[in-house]
Amino acid sequence: MLKTIIAAVLLVLGACAGINHLPEGDSPGAQLVREKCTVCHGQPHPTRHTAPEWGHYIALMETHMKTKGIAFSSEEKEIVLDYLQRNASK
């Protein structure tokens, strides 16, 4: 019984680990998404939106971050936007 419970827990943990997998996981863009986006909400996956949609959402988030006092430099914005658009849904 204990082995069954352990196996079930490991399966669940393994499944959860893949949920937040980002393409190009070690890239500066993915790192900034993890660092900046998760301050207020869950980690977005680039395929959640198309490239043009990401441009719109990043502009909205930039405004929101300013009102919350969250630092988001123009260089960081360009890195994040480039990353999200490059890996966006087609």
Mean pLDDT of 63-76: 96
Q: How many domains does the chain have?
A: 1
Above 60 in pLDDT, residue 14? no
* pLDDT given for residue 1 in this prediction: 76
* pLDDT given for residue 18 in this prediction: 45
Q: Is residue 43 part of a domain?
A: yes
Above 90 in pLDDT, residue 11? no
Domain carrying residue 78: 22-86
Q: Is residue 7 part of a domain?
A: no
Read off the CATH number of the domain in which 39 is found. 1.10.760
The most distant pair of C-alpha atoms in the chain lies apart, rounded to whole Å, by 55
Q: Which of 35, 44, 43 is closest to 70 using CA atoms? A: 35
| Intra-chain end-to-end CA distance of the chain, in Å | 46
pLDDT digits (tens, 9 = 90+) for 23-46: 999 999 999 999 999 999 999 999
Q: pTM to 2 decimals?
A: 0.76
